[in-house]
Structure 1
């Protein structure tokens, strides 16, 4: 009897993929931006032809969300992202400051390992492939087991298109035999430069222990605060549109609503008018008991289900037309399922006396899962908005916009991204909407503009004094220059 050890086969395949990617990336690094752009355009053009089919396939394979909304996400990365990428220079000379005689040169980071979520497998895969090649990097995907067939098909389409247009073989690839051991080998291989983990928290420990830089798009759990000056009708419509999109699987979508007490009755009425159902305490307990297993792990079978399906599973009936389930809560705690991320159309609902108390409640919610992903504030009071922006431990703050669409750059001018950094708690190297510029390093070039003796004879000190009124950091700079002066004096004296 032949026994096949998939772990060993996966590890072997991973090593081959990374070694091939390393050699391919060396060739890719010599490509000018124009050639990289041509390949990226061809990839997007070809995968767009299959956007609808892949949306349907991913919804069927994963049983998450709505294929119609996944189709919108696929279109978004094939069309809108591509428009934003056009004209962006990532490699070669990206900045030439003639006046100050400095040059910035973009250099690809190398070989990237990509993990994508089963909740948005196609759009995230397309997006990562496009921004990696745009910036001259090789990228290897470890498909999510729940979306393996869909992701593999999407990658095969893009690989054929890209290699047909000159992409070196191996620069874009994926693991066929997917096991934790194989994925670990991809991440820890000496030739791997960076790991992009989007929405796969189960692999966070492994990515963190890999010894490589990690870009982590993690759990959301973002609150939305409706402040007393907000346009209540618009705020409610935004939250419902966001939370029902793809049945709530987007991590950036609102998880809780915090409401100013003086408008709470109006807000509740508006939610009910737009298809929200406020559960009784008993109904909340029944539903809340289904979100997590006894060991604390999320119940994936609750992910991406409609409000009607969720209510049925919890054993109660809601009227036709209900699209969001709301649980009224008072406290945030580790044992409260409504204090945590719920990737489905369910919201926790808190009422606070004023914006200061709401501010504290939002902080509690953000730190309850420690990742500090996204916060939304609906308000017309710019002073309150600024206070929220200054105080919140969060990667991005959105103002008067739906979280799902605002975070990904559809209803805001943030970069159009399917990986939203949530590293404000020290997880990951960036909180950006990740773009090709996060996948390069900058080589600095500085021309000499003054002589060493200018340091020792005080001319540089005079120069800094002359611009002191224009630069608030002059005191700090003078200290630096004085230190530099002493170093140079010693260096010159020694010669």
Structure 2
């Protein structure tokens, strides 16, 4: 098969998947909340059963991360997420306000295009499938080419579970021949209603420029500030645990440590005591050549790899086999300072600043260079300092005294458990949320008239409910059968 044949085949496959998803959409839209909940529960249970096998497949295929940590991420997506969404109302009547005579009705957005990264391939499929089914939306996955086999297997696992619980065929599917042309066809097709894009900046930008509504998350580049009030041992432990989790492949993981000069000695000593290897000037220069590619993007050779592998790649001969993370002193941010960019591997930049104001400026500078709107971590016992930094930094998640990789996704914090983390407008994203089912529905609002034009002309107070509507009695009681029919009509209209 030549390249042109492969492109054409992938485009045709994508069109066929869209046709199947279109049929499934009409059925899902007319299901009850209970039916959707049953499907979501089935995915949760089955994905948890296969968590280890799928994690092993992901590491073996991509070479990224650690099997045990990928299994934990799969279980997080299957079980922790399920506990958070199982009782959510997403479909049909969400809320009623008898006093203002308004009803909110949740309706699915329609077919979702799910773009899957190679760093978190199996957990992302589990997560996106569950939030889409909970919201009543079919999803078509576009897999990263370097993780296509583990992604396809995960899609098959969740698809079979969903269909066994009543989901129509075509509810969950995946492009089997991933090409750029297929992904563009999926994103730009009239049937596609929303894009869930998780991955590199170029891919996310393509999603937003497709003409289809999108929720996208690009690079994270979160700094971690160790404040003078912090328990330094605890702070370093949390940072290293976070950075080494799945070999640094979670985008919320710390990318740099920032301290005041008065804290430098204590933090450096603790880093070394807990297994970090602090590079000297020569080693700093050697490794810096391998962090980014000539076009300025992250070198995939360092992504999710062990310290031993990265050291061998860079020719670092003095790194001990016990080293957990490579730490490089840095003094600048931006072009020409590769350590200041996102590094989805076991490499941390280390900034030492004169005072707290300089620390704050540096943290803002790092985020504005790359990762604006994503994540910032601070370790402090002073609540006012945490609040001050939270107000100043351009980050959607400010994490206090917790490992950033796990805190950002909601594993060690009470944030919503998610593997797509919105960066807000400052980060070029349409949402700053940890994305869940409520981000994948539209809300239809039904409103009864409560005042007449004559009342408005007569000086009636705008926004007040007219006196005649108060205590309306039986004539204003909502007929549930009429509402059910209204919901069904809306669903049928949306699926046309």
TM-score by length of 1: 0.90
Instruction: Indicate conservation of the 8 Å contact 2:208/2:216, yes or no.
Output: no
CA gap of 1:8–1:123, structure 2 versus 1, over 3 A, is same
Between stretches 262-271 and 52-61, larger displacement belongs to 262-271
The residue number in structure 1 matching 2:56 is 56
> Contact 1:394/1:424 (CA < 8 Å) preserved in 2?
no
User: Would you say the 8 A contact 1:65–1:247 is kept in 2?
Assistant: yes
**SS of 1:178's equivalent?**
coil
Deviation at 1:415, TM superposition (A): 0.5
Aligned residues: 464
Q: By how many angstroms is 1:370 displaced?
A: 5.2
1:231 and 1:453, CA in 2 relative to 1: closer, same or farther beyond 3 A? farther
Cα distance in structure 1, aligned partners of 2:287 and 2:463: 70
| Aligned counterparts of 2:64 and 2:52: Cα–Cα separation in 1 | 16
- Name 2:109's counterpart in structure 1: 109
- 1:463 to 1:50, Cα distance in 2 relative to 1, 3 A: closer
1:9 maps to: 9
Contact 1:223–1:375 under 8 Å retained in 2: yes
Q: Counterpart of 2:348?
A: 347
The yes-or-no answer on 1:270 pairing with 2:270 is: yes
Q: Matches of 1:282 and 1:333 in 2, distance apart?
A: 20
Tell me if the contact between 2:373 and 2:427 (Cα under 8 Å) persists in the aligned partners.
no
Instruction: Tell me the SS of whatever aligns to 2:426.
Output: coil
2:244 equivalent to 1:244: yes
Whether the 8 Å contact between 1:393 and 1:424 is mirrored in structure 2 is: no
CA contact (8 A) 2:222 2:371 kept: no
- Distance, in Å, in 1 between the alignment partners of 2:274 and 2:139 is 43
Structure 2 residue aligned with 1:449? 450
Shift of 1:113: 0.2
The answer on whether the counterparts of 1:65 and 1:305 sit within 8 Å (CA) in structure 2 is yes
CA RMSD between the two structures: 1.8
CA deviation map 1:365-400 (0-9, x unaligned): 001125431101111222221221212112211111
Deviation at 1:61, TM superposition (A): 0.2
Indicate the SS of the match to 2:395.
coil
TM-score, scaled to structure 2: 0.90
Distance in 1 (alpha carbons) for counterparts of 2:284 and 2:346: 13
Matches within 5 A, 1:70-89: 70-89=70-89
Post-superposition Cα deviations, 1:412-437, rounded to whole Å, max 9, x if no partner, equal: 11110011112333523112100001
Query: 1:3/1:413 Cα in 2 relative to 1: closer, same or farther (>3 Å)?
Result: closer
1:52-451 pair list within 5 angstroms: 52-316=52-316, 317-369=318-370, 371-425=372-426, 427-451=428-452
Task: State the partner residue of 1:488.
Answer: none
Aligned-residue offset at 1:4:
6.9
CA distance in 2, matches of 1:462, 1:66: 57
2:20 aligned partner: 20
Secondary structure (helix, strand or coil) at the match of 1:257 reads: strand
1:242 and 1:457, CA in 2 relative to 1: closer, same or farther beyond 3 A? Answer: same
Unpaired segments of 5 or more residues in structure 2?
A: 466-496
Q: CA deviation at 1:354?
A: 2.4
Conserved? CA contact 2:373–2:432, under 8 Å: no
User: What is the alpha-carbon distance in structure 1 between the residues aligned to residue 276 and residue 2 of structure 2?
Assistant: 56
**DSSP-derived class of the 2:114 partner:** strand
Partner of 2:478: none
Task: Indicate conservation of the 8 Å contact 2:276/2:327, yes or no.
Answer: yes
8 Å Cα contact 2:155-2:173 kept in structure 1: yes
Q: Which residue of 1 aligns with 2:492?
A: none
Alpha-carbon distance between aligned partners in 1 of 2:357 and 2:458, rounded to the nearest angstrom: 55
CA distance in 2, matches of 1:3, 1:74: 34
Contact 1:213 1:428 in 2 (8 A): no
Does the 8 Å contact 1:116/1:200 carry over to 2? no
* Structure 1 residue ranges without an equivalent (≥5): 465-495
